[in-house]
């Protein structure tokens, strides 16, 4: 009800009350039977007004519809007092429906599919994040393709700043840290490709980085970490001592201790290699990936390749002296203890790493084949890189090509194959020793001994034969007082280098015909 209506009704009510309770004069005889006076409020006529010839009730002063707006009215000292009335009812009783009869099958929980540990969306996000701080390495056609009957494309990940593919995973891992963790800093304690990548990219991202190395670490390696800008501390005599000290410093100072494991962000960063290979090599049919030490590169690359094209073969290669993944696949579970002793100078500290459950499951699901290569095959593959690709890689980076050179992948004949060259971090002295050994294994360096007489010119005749055969004399030793030499004869040992196996075979035939006493020494 609006204000005007309330005002009108209030005045109307006051007038009716005044007329009702004010004294009235007595009616005359002529007025007593007058219907008008009979219908007036306050009259003493006992029947009320007449309607349609019948006597009706006296109308109420306030209509029932209006009572609910104002409440019950009560006259009190000439004023109107309003009381609100509320009707309180008992709560309504609602009966429950009878329980439904359900079958037993309806109570069974439908299991949700488990969340994927490494999705292609994670790899795509990593590729977008690291594109500004990571170069896209080339994937070039190899000169060895015609020699081995397949189209070989080398994904040269060793061309990164630190010489390792692990820069991809490390960069994405560091950028995924919280601001508080980046402000406090990170710490590493092993001399490997992972630690070198952490030292370089942490400095680039303005993250404090500390490197704890044992005293047995060579000075050139320590200088590399210092050149990157890391704080290097020598502690302990073994790698275990430096790791324990690094963990202690991390707890005391709030540093984040980093080690190579199956972190999801780290694997996603490594998986970007597969995306680039698929983009750079059209109509790709197979990918050969080294899997030494930590198997994140194999798992991450396989996840990307299989998502883009499930028909592409993914082949993992690991050293023959440490077949951790191959044995784990046979046992249907990751092996923790591998009783093997690989050459640490060639393959690093492989025994320091273990195969994680998630990485194993990814490899078991996505990798089509896992093979092993011998140390000799890896060294020869390093030699092929030097000769045909004009690049120096380590044994881990050469394992993919070593599997092809050893003839262990005959099913790839005539196919387009990409080989990941993962790293090239090997000390110069070790590289030189590896090349010398590879030349021997490749029948390029031969060592023989022959008995010559003490007549003048016998030594010159031997050297003349070697000159005419166009071989390179590396070393010669003339022994006159050898116990096994005959009387009046001397033993001469020579080390020569040839161009290839064909020249070596021809040299052996020529010397054997001229010197029946020649003895070719074992490799």
415 vs 9, more confident: 415
Q: What pLDDT, on a 0 to 100 scale, did the predictor assign at position 16?
A: 57
Share above pLDDT 70 across residues of the chain, in percent, rounded to a whole number: 75
Sign of the torsion angle spanned by Cα atoms 335, 340, 346, 351: positive
Q: What pLDDT, on a 0 to 100 scale, did the predictor assign at position 246?
A: 94
- Rounded-to-integer distance, Cα 373 and Cα 289, Å: 12
Q: What pLDDT, on a 0 to 100 scale, did the predictor assign at position 71?
A: 42
Confidence class of residue 187 from pLDDT cuts 50, 70 and 90? very high
User: Is 60 exceeded by the pLDDT of residue 433?
Assistant: yes
How far, rounded to the nearest angstrom, does the alpha carbon of residue 18 sit from its chain's CA centroid? 94
Confidence class of residue 8 from pLDDT cuts 50, 70 and 90? low
User: Is 90 exceeded by the pLDDT of residue 31?
Assistant: no
Q: What pLDDT, on a 0 to 100 scale, did the predictor assign at position 53?
A: 45
What would the pLDDT profile of 347-372 be if each residue is shown by its tens digit?
A: 876 666 778 899 999 999 999 999 99
Residue ranges of domains in the chain, CATH in brackets = 61-72+117-335+352-442 (3.40.50.1100), 444-520 (3.30.70.260)
Average pLDDT over residues 75-103: 53
Q: What pLDDT, on a 0 to 100 scale, did the predictor assign at position 349?
A: 65
Q: Can you tell me which residue has the tokens 């200088």? A: 223
Q: What pLDDT, on a 0 to 100 scale, did the predictor assign at position 313?
A: 97
User: Is 50 exceeded by the pLDDT of residue 129?
Assistant: yes
What would the pLDDT profile of 294-338 be if each residue is shown by its tens digit?
A: 789 999 999 999 999 999 999 999 999 889 999 999 999 998 777
Average pLDDT over residues 133-156: 94
**Where is average pLDDT lowest: 1-5, 270-274, 375-379?**
1-5
| Sequence-distant (≥ 6) Cβ neighbours of residue 500 within 8 angstroms | 444
Q: What pLDDT, on a 0 to 100 scale, did the predictor assign at position 55?
A: 46
Sign of the torsion angle spanned by Cα atoms 257, 291, 147, 472: positive
Q: What pLDDT, on a 0 to 100 scale, did the predictor assign at position 103?
A: 56
- Rounded-to-integer distance, Cα 300 and Cα 304, Å: 7
User: Is 90 exceeded by the pLDDT of residue 144?
Assistant: yes
Report long-range pairs for 136-139 (Cβ below 8 Å, ≥24 apart). Answer: 136/276, 137/276, 138/280, 139/276, 139/277, 139/280, 139/281, 139/418
* Pairing verdict, β 209-213 and 139-141: unpaired
Average pLDDT over residues 384-400: 93
3-state DSSP assignment of residue 231: strand
Q: What pLDDT, on a 0 to 100 scale, did the predictor assign at position 347?
A: 80
User: Is 90 exceeded by the pLDDT of residue 104?
Assistant: no
- Rounded-to-integer distance, Cα 322 and Cα 353, Å: 11
User: Is 70 exceeded by the pLDDT of residue 230?
Assistant: yes
How far, rounded to the nearest angstrom, does the alpha carbon of residue 70 sit from its chain's CA centroid? 75
Q: What pLDDT, on a 0 to 100 scale, did the predictor assign at position 91?
A: 58
**Where is average pLDDT lowest: 222-231, 281-290, 448-457?**
448-457
Burial level of 327, CB count in 10 A (0-12/13-18/19+)? middle
Confidence class of residue 111 from pLDDT cuts 50, 70 and 90? low
Confidence class of residue 13 from pLDDT cuts 50, 70 and 90? low
What would the pLDDT profile of 467-523 be if each residue is shown by its tens digit?
A: 999 999 999 988 766 555 566 678 888 999 998 889 999 999 999 999 988 999 876
Let me know: does 394 contact 426? Beta carbons within 8 Å: yes
Mean pLDDT of the residues in the chain: 82
Q: What pLDDT, on a 0 to 100 scale, did the predictor assign at position 27?
A: 47
- Rounded-to-integer distance, Cα 30 and Cα 270, Å: 119
| Sequence-distant (≥ 6) Cβ neighbours of residue 476 within 8 angstroms | 492, 493, 494, 495
């Amino acid at each position: 009800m609006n204000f005007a209506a309330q005002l009108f009704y209030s005045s109307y009510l006051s007038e009716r009350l005044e007329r009702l309770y004010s004294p009235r004069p007595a009616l005359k005889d002529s007025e007593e039977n007058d219907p008008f006076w009979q219908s007036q409020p306050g009259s003493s006529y006992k029947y009320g007004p007449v309607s349609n010839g019948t006597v009706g009730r006296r109308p109420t002063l306030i209509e029932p519809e209006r009572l609910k707006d104002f409440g019950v009215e009560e006259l009190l000292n000439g004023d109107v007092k309003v009381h609100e009335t509320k009707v309180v009812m008992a709560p309504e009783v609602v009966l429950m429906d009878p329980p439904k009869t359900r079958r037993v099958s309806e109570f069974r929980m439908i299991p949700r599919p488990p969340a994927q540990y490494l999705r292609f969306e994670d790899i795509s996000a990593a590729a977008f994040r690291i594109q500004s701080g990571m170069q896209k390495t080339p994937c070039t056609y190899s000169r060895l393709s015609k020699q081995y009957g397949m189209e070989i494309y080398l994904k040269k990940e060793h061309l990164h700043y630190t010489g390792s593919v692990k820069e991809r995973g490390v960069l994405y891992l560091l950028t995924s840290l919280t601001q508080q963790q980046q402000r406090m800093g990170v710490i590493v304690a092993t001399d490997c490709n992972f630690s070198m990548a952490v030292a370089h990219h942490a400095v680039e991202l303005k993250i404090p980085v500390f490197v704890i190395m044992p005293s047995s670490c060579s000075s050139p390696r320590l200088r590399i970490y210092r050149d990157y800008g890391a704080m290097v501390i020598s502690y302990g005599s073994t790698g275990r001592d430096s790791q324990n000290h690094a963990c202690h410093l991390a707890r005391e100072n709030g540093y984040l201790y980093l080690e190579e494991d199956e972190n999801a962000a780290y694997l996603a960063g490594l998986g970007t290699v597969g995306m680039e290979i698929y983009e750079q090599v059209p109509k790709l049919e197979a990918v050969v990936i080294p899997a030494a030490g930590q198997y994140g590169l194999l798992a991450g690359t396989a996840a990307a390749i299989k998502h883009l094209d499930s028909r592409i073969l993914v082949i993992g290669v690991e050293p023959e002296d440490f077949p951790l993944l191959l044995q784990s696949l046979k046992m249907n579970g990751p092996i923790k203890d591998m009783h093997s002793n690989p050459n640490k100078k060639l393959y690093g500290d492989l025994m320091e790493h273990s195969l994680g459950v998630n990485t194993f499951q990814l490899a078991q699901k996505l990798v089509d084949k896992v093979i092993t290569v011998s140390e000799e095959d890896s060294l020869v593959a390093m030699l092929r890189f030097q000769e045909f690709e004009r690049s120096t890689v380590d044994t881990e980076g050469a394992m993919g090509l070593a599997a092809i050179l050893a003839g262990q992948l005959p099913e790839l004949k005539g196919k387009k194959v990409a080989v990941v060259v993962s790293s090239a971090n090997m000390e110069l002295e070790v590289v030189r020793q590896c090349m010398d050994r590879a030349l021997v294994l490749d029948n390029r360096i031969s060592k023989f001994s022959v008995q010559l007489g003490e007549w003048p010119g016998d030594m010159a005749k031997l050297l003349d034969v070697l000159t005419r055969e166009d071989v390179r004399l590396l070393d010669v030793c003339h022994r006159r007082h050898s116990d096994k030499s005959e009387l009046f004869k001397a033993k001469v040992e020579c080390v020569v280098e040839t161009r290839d196996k064909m020249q070596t075979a021809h040299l052996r035939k020529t010397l054997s015909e001229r010197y029946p006493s020649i003895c070719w020494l074992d490799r």
